[in-house]
Amino acid sequence: MKVCIIGQGYIGLPTAALFSKSDCEVVGVDISPEMVDNLNKGIIHIEEPGIGDLINDAIANNSYSASLTPQKADAFIITVPTPYIVENYSCDLSYVIDACNSILPFLEKGNTVIVESTIAPLSTDEQIKPIFEKAGFTIGKDLFLAHCPERVLPGQIMYELVNNNRIIGGVTPECAKKASEVYGQFVEGELILTEAKTAELSKCMENTFRDVNIALANELAKICAEIGVNALDVIEMANKHPRVNLHSPGPGVGGHCLAIDPYFIYAKAPQQAKIIKLARDTNKSMPDFVCDNVRKIIKEGKIGVLGVSYKGNTDDDRESPAYEIISKLSDDYNIMIHDPHIENPTFVSFEEVVKDSDLILVLCDHDEFKELDYDLIKNSMENPVIFDTKNIIRKVPCDIKLYNYGNLYELN
């Protein structure tokens, strides 16, 4: 089987690697000439365990190549971004539509087209299917169209793409069957066949469920800071209940899924999706909450920021609330940033970030930040203070002040 994958980012490239490993011929398409050139040299642009070896093996045996343009194939998989439109929160399908149009010259009867990008409910039937029908194809007869959303965790993508259950949302039952045959090349989890619109809403609700539960924890953190209760103790005690699992509060929600997908549902039914919108508003407010408390801790000076990835132990900083926090503080403070997982010429070493800092601000839960060099901190800071917005630092020496979501009420 030959597979053409449009988009070689956090999902497209791992998917390409796994199809290549399964003896498929794969062409990975992207609009970035630099990325395409690097991929063909075996230079990988995302941090994900195992992917580098697979891509380099595939290049060596000619089962993978990167290209700026699509090629004829048996199956086409679209894995491009789908941001939301700020004005009305609706799904921006422009990248998906461009990707669909880009493969039209290469489609042949009998091909399967799969949209993996997260899209709003009814997008496949109402906006994507007409593109191919206008080109002369009959969906379910001579072209098979499906929406098959990914559901993976950064840092475990290679494992979860293989082992997680996969929703196969066909425009018709035959479309779902054909798409399942494509994923059957490497997926070992259950292939769940359904309608495209059900698959679309299912993916959006998976991320909305998580966003709402994070919002509950974040709201609790705000309440506790106001009334003088340790939020972390409350969560620990409540979670002793066998049917309660409160999440941990944080600086906000990042990533291309949780921070965006709930809006797709809200935009479709704003009068009904009130809890969803309120949860989004709560999580969107957390950078301001962090900044307000930073200003209570120090009025001026240098802030050493630890981490900008939205997900610990990865280089994935898409929609990271850290950047909003840094932007909001940069007018009033000197900001230095350290993130061992992200290559950025403006970032500095841990030694530099703590040197003469007035506050260490933890914005990411990398393992490297769970146990810090406290001797270095004490020798580098006149009055050592840490504000841990991820609640990952359990204990510090008595001569270092630690703030987290358990004791912010002390600042009031």
Number of Cβ within a 10 Å radius of residue 352: 15
Q: What confidence score (pLDDT) does residue 237 get?
A: 98
Q: Give 111's Cβ-side CA count (13 Å radius).
A: 21
52 shares its domain with 193? yes
26 shares its domain with 163? yes
Q: Is 91 a catalytic residue?
A: no
Q: What confidence score (pLDDT) does residue 185 get?
A: 96
CB 18 within 8 A of CB 158: yes
When divided into structural domains, the chain yields a total of 2
The active-site residue, picked from 129, 203, 268, 311, is 203
List 387's β-bridge partners, or say none: 361, 403
Residue 147 has pLDDT above 90, yes or no: yes
> Looking up tokens 């642009």, which residue turns up?
45
Residue 67 one-letter amino acid: S
For residue 250, tell me if it sits in a domain: no
Q: Could you give the CA distance from residue 79 to residue 67 in angstroms, rounded to a whole number?
A: 15
Q: With a threshold of 0.85, does the pTM exceed it?
A: yes
For residue 179, tell me if it sits in a domain: yes
Q: Is 291 a catalytic residue?
A: no
For residue 87, tell me if it sits in a domain: yes
Q: Could you give the CA distance from residue 330 to residue 303 in angstroms, rounded to a whole number?
A: 9
> Looking up tokens 């000076």, which residue turns up?
301
Q: What confidence score (pLDDT) does residue 47 get?
A: 86
- Report residue 317 as tokens: 């900083």
Q: 199, 218, 249 — which closes off a domain?
A: 199
The active-site residue, picked from 4, 148, 204, 257, is 257
Number of Cβ within a 10 Å radius of residue 343: 10
Mean model confidence pLDDT for the chain: 97
Give the N- to C-terminal CA distance of the chain in Å, as an integer.
63
291 shares its domain with 189? no
Q: What is the mean pLDDT of residues 300-316?
A: 96
Percent of the chain with pLDDT over 90: 97
List 360's β-bridge partners, or say none: 304, 386
Residue 157 has pLDDT above 90, yes or no: yes
For residue 260, tell me if it sits in a domain: no
Q: What confidence score (pLDDT) does residue 154 get?
A: 83
Q: What confidence score (pLDDT) does residue 72 get?
A: 98
The radius of gyration computed from the CA coordinates of the chain, to the nearest angstrom, equals: 23
195 shares its domain with 291? no
Domain that holds residue 304: 286-411
For helices 231-238 and 196-227, angle between their N-to-C axes, nearest 10 degrees: 130
Positive or negative: CA dihedral 234, 251, 381, 373: positive
Q: Could you give the CA distance from residue 191 to residue 180 in angstroms, rounded to a whole number?
A: 7
Q: Could you give the CA distance from residue 276 to residue 387 in angstroms, rounded to a whole number?
A: 29
User: What confidence category does residue 202 fall into, taking pLDDT thresholds of 50, 70 and 90?
Assistant: very high
- Report residue 65 as tokens: 């190549």
Q: What confidence score (pLDDT) does residue 164 get?
A: 95
Which DSSP symbol is given to 9?
S
**Strand 25-29 to 64-67 pairing:** parallel
Q: What is the mean pLDDT of residues 57-79?
A: 97
Helices and strands per DSSP (H, E), number in the chain:
16, 13
- Report residue 127 as tokens: 């906006």
305 shares its domain with 186? no
7 shares its domain with 154? yes
Q: What confidence score (pLDDT) does residue 155 get?
A: 86
Q: 165, 199, 233 — which closes off a domain?
A: 199
- CATH code, domain with 44: 3.40.50.720
pLDDT tens for each residue of 158-196: 999 999 999 999 999 999 999 999 999 999 999 999 999
Bigger pLDDT: 154 vs 393 = 393
16 shares its domain with 144? yes
Q: Give the three-state DSSP class for 302.
A: strand
Residue 357 has pLDDT above 90, yes or no: yes
194 shares its domain with 295? no
Q: 158, 181, 199 — which closes off a domain?
A: 199
Q: What is the mean pLDDT of residues 302-315?
A: 96
For residue 209, tell me if it sits in a domain: no
